[in-house]
């Protein structure tokens, strides 16, 4: 049984008669102990879909789904009290920018201890020791003295480690990491990803890693979900997707990686931009940019079809192992 079940999740903003579909009928599942990478460029709906799972989409946003379940519980029907008990304790999220996510008015120690107090209780001394242990676990030197510092006194990498400590304080079953390495230098990025994977294995928790960087999830994820313009366009085992993508958009993402274009003077790119609210094309949303598009692609929206090996592709002509469309 999957820990997280998402079926036809949509998030709309704006006019109900002509909404902007930030997330458009996406479906996926996450098992206990599984690492899932959600990949796509900025504006593809990665972060919004996760905020919907956390219950953090406010009006005028509207969340709809055929199924949105965590550990057998319907997230669309639970009360606000139940959601507050769930979020932070069993489901936790690391946000993109720690400097705007941490409260500048309170010390690091207070913020970690408050999370523990809300979900686990205990006396102040017990919570303080737990906070020290957490800071030590995420690799912050001299953790006892760091309890009394404010967020602005920490570097970006240290702030992100504090965010991770807060997220895992109550040993959640599911951790969602939304662009956890944004604005960090390359060496710190590698350390943060390694830390997240170590913690995931130690606690056997499910980890959803949201990123625009395919290379980042190449070795980390068991399964990859590729999103474009609010839709899931491909899913599958990480190794299979890197070996032979089945969707033209995934193929384009891979061809843009320096590792896949070492013999070329210029990296490959798709012409055009991701469609917005007022310029969404008929048929497949990628068709104005896709080199393989046909009249069918311009008139009929493809389904997210099941392929062999547990893979899925939202394309009328899924690519073969040689990268050619099945026209």
Higher pLDDT, 125 or 213: 125
Higher pLDDT, 210 or 184: 210
Distance CA 5, CA 231 (A): 16
Q: What is the CATH number of domain 2-90+170-325?
A: 3.40.50.300
Residue in 238, 196, 219 with CA at minimum distance from that of residue 93? 196
Distance CA 192, CA 160 (A): 8
Sort residue 109 into left (φ over 0), alpha (ψ -120 to 50) or beta: alpha
Three-state SS at 47: helix
Q: What is the pLDDT of residues 191-200, one digit of tens each?
A: 888 889 999 9
Structural domain spans, the chain:
2-90+170-325
Q: What is the pLDDT of residues 97-154, one digit of tens each?
A: 888 889 999 999 999 999 888 888 888 999 999 999 999 989 899 999 999 999 999 9
Which of 168-172, 188-192, 207-211, 281-285 has the least mean pLDDT? 188-192
Distance CA 167, CA 160 (A): 10
pTM: 0.91
Distance CA 38, CA 241 (A): 13
């Amino acid at each position: 049984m999957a820990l997280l079940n998402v079926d036809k999740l949509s998030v709309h903003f704006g006019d109900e008669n002509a909404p902007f579909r930030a997330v458009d009928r996406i479906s996926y599942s996450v098992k206990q102990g599984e690492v899932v990478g959600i990949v796509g460029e900025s504006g593809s709906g990665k972060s919004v879909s996760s905020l919907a799972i956390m219950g953090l989409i406010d009006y005028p946003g509207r969340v709809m789904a055929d199924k949105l379940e965590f550990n057998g519980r319907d997230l669309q029907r639970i009360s606000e009290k139940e959601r507050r008990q769930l979020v932070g304790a069993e489901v936790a999220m690391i946000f993109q920018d720690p400097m705007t996510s941490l409260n500048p008015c309170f010390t690091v120690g207070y913020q970690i201890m408050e999370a523990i107090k809300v979900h686990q209780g205990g006396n102040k001394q017990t919570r303080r020791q737990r906070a020290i242990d957490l800071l030590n676990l995420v690799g912050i030197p001299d953790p006892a003295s760091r309890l009394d510092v404010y967020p602005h006194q920490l570097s970006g990498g240290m702030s992100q480690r504090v965010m991770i400590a807060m997220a895992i304080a109550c040993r959640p079953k599911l951790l969602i990491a939304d662009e956890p390495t944004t604005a960090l230098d390359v060496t710190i990025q590698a350390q943060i990803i390694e830390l997240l994977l170590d913690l995931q294995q130690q606690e056997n928790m499910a980890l959803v890693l949201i990123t625009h960087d395919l290379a980042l999830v190449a070795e980390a994820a068991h399964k990859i979900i590729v999103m474009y313009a609010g839709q899931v366009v491909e899913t599958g085992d990480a190794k299979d997707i890197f070996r032979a993508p089945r969707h033209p958009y995934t193929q384009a993402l891979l061809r843009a990686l320096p590792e896949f274009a070492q013999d070329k003077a210029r990296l490959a790119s798709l012409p055009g931009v991701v469609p917005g609210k007022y310029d969404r094309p008929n048929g497949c949303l990628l068709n104005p940019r896709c080199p393989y598009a046909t009249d069918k692609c311009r008139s009929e929206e493809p389904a997210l079809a099941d392929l062999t090996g547990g893979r899925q592709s939202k394309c009328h002509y899924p690519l073969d192992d040689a990268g050619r469309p099945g026209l």
